[in-house]
Chains A and B, each alone.
Chain A
Amino acid sequence: MKVGVLAFQGAVREHINMLKMAGAQPVPVKKEEELNDVDALILPGGESTVIGKFLRETGLGKIIVEKAKNGMPIWGTCAGMILLAKKIVNEDYVHLGLMDIWVRRNAYGSQLDSFIVRKPVPAVSPKPLELVFIRAPYAEKALPGVEVLLELDGKIVAARQNNLLATAFHPEVTDDPSFHKFFLEMIPSSK
């Protein structure tokens, strides 16, 4: 199973290592040919303004939207969650605009407000997972059709909508591949 990691900027190396641990073949993706070669795609953490700019300039964004509409599993972590959202609160733009969530950027504040909590995510793992929030966003609202996987103090921090998965935190910087395994199970051929 080949899983792409969008590789313009951000926590690419971490996702690649985690995918190997979870038993998939990771592929860094910067070009259309590379995107056409994968069964699923991860949009990593990083700066959404930077990654979003590359998606527009290379035309890769449009192709990802098409592939998502044809059912390709796509998972966005942190910046990736912002890229997936249909609405970004207080902004007049969206990036891929695929998922029915309203996301707030830097929702917790500056780096001094970054934090780690340990909590189980029932759909993913019964044992507590380390949830790492770094200048993280959260979703204020999820429209019908979105399954909320985890709320923290009333804010949505993990959600799934059919073939789309979004997490405000970074499972890729932990030692636990549970979330990556959960994502791999979303790939139709794996069932």
Chain B
Amino acid sequence: MEGKSMMDTNAHPDRYSLNKNLAEMVKGGVIMDVTTPEQARIAEEAGAVAVMALERVPADIRKHGGVARMSDPKIIKAIKQAVSIPVMAKCRIGHFVEAQILEAIGVDFIDESEVLTPADEFCHIDKKKFKVPFVCGARDLGEALRRIAEGAAMIRTKGEAGTGNVVEAVRHIRTINAQIRKLQNMPREELITAAKEMGAPYELVLYVAEHGRLPVVNFAAGGVATPADAALLMQLGCDGVFVGSGIFKSENPEKRARAIVKAVAHYDDPEVLAEVSEDLGEPMPGLELERLESRYAERGW
């Protein structure tokens, strides 16, 4: 049987396939940030496909300032107790000990997240050493493929978390899509040059050129505040959506959560989208990007 992951140089060969496939199972779903067991139950009841257990949502991390770290394991365990859907939790970029702790308490997925203050400016976590799956943020194809090379089982756009402004998430998915299309049209001899230029492993570049998609599931994240935002990112080709502050910082979290879940499942049906967008109360307050003190998306490389 498999030993504790930190002792192994690499987890069991079946592991990566199992972890990529857990990400496949949450496709078409909404993953919601929650800070209490009560919120987790509201999210599950509203149709969340998984929850992200946190001490503070990104909007509050922004307000609070200072160093943002992994949440108290006690909070994560209480949230795990409260729901039957998968529970994710965030660790800092490069902080492999926070990741070891999250694995030890049995979370279903770790988000190595730029929303927390990075612990290492040179290295991301060697995710292949772990048994638990990881999701990582990316702004472009090279960044996505570097994270996959490190062992990420799922990718999400970085967007700009805690702003309620979808513009960066749109920029990131459009960038990735455009880069994929470009690779698909390249003659084979140019792909090695493309790999060199985007700083990504050649084998992964080849895979993308041949299949026209990333080898793992790609969700949208960072700034989703309305059902229309979520459907926009789905129509742009994302496999599902993370909603951070957008739900529990809005006037009516329960109703908005339900609406966003429906919007993701029916993303290509404007009649359903019109129906679910009605009478949701105030969304979370939005922030213009020019006025931000720090851009989370610029963290990591």
- Compute the total of residue contacts between A and B using a CB distance below 8 Å: 96
Q: Which residues of A pack against B, CB within 8 Å? A: 7-14, 30, 45-47, 49-50, 53-54, 57, 78-79, 105-106, 109-112, 114-116, 132, 134-135, 170, 173
Give 4 closest A-B pairs by Cβ, nearest first. A9-B28, A111-B108, A116-B14, A8-B265
Give 20 new A-B contacts, CB below 8 A, not counting A9-B27, A111-B133, A114-B22.
A10-B27, A10-B29, A11-B21, A12-B27, A13-B24, A46-B49, A47-B50, A49-B85, A53-B47, A54-B265, A79-B25, A110-B108, A111-B18, A111-B19, A111-B109, A111-B132, A112-B103, A134-B25, A170-B21, A173-B17
Contact of A9 with B14 at beta-carbon distance under 8 Å, contacts A134-B22, A170-B21 already known: no
Interface check B106, CB cutoff 8 A? yes
Interface contact A112-B132, CB-CB below 8 Å: yes
Q: Chain B residues with Cβ under 8 A from A112's Cβ?
A: 103, 106, 131-132
Interface contact A9-B22, CB-CB below 8 Å: no
Interface contact A135-B22, CB-CB below 8 Å: yes
Number of contact residues on B: which range applies?
A: 20 to 34
| Bound Cα distance from A54 to B269, whole angstroms | 15
Q: Chain B residues with Cβ under 8 A from A78's Cβ?
A: 25
Interface contact B25-A10, CB-CB below 8 Å: yes
List which B6-54 residues lie within 8 A (CB) of chain A: 14, 17-19, 21-22, 24-29, 44, 47-50
Interface check B86, CB cutoff 8 A? yes
Q: Chain B residues with Cβ under 8 A from A47's Cβ?
A: 25-26, 29, 49-50, 85-86
| Bound Cα distance from A49 to B48, whole angstroms | 9
Contact of A173 with B24 at beta-carbon distance under 8 Å, contacts A49-B85, A112-B131, A114-B18 already known: yes
| Bound Cα distance from A134 to B27, whole angstroms | 14
| Bound Cα distance from A57 to B17, whole angstroms | 33
Contact with B25, one of A45, A110, A115 (Cβ below 8 angstroms):
A45
| Bound Cα distance from A57 to B275, whole angstroms | 14
B276 smallest CB distance to A (angstroms): 11
24 A-B residue pairs with Cβ-Cβ distance under 8 Å, sorted by A, are A8-B265, A12-B28, A13-B27, A30-B265, A46-B26, A47-B85, A50-B29, A50-B47, A50-B48, A50-B49, A50-B85, A57-B262, A110-B86, A111-B22, A111-B86, A111-B132, A112-B103, A112-B131, A114-B18, A116-B14, A116-B18, A135-B86, A135-B108, A173-B24
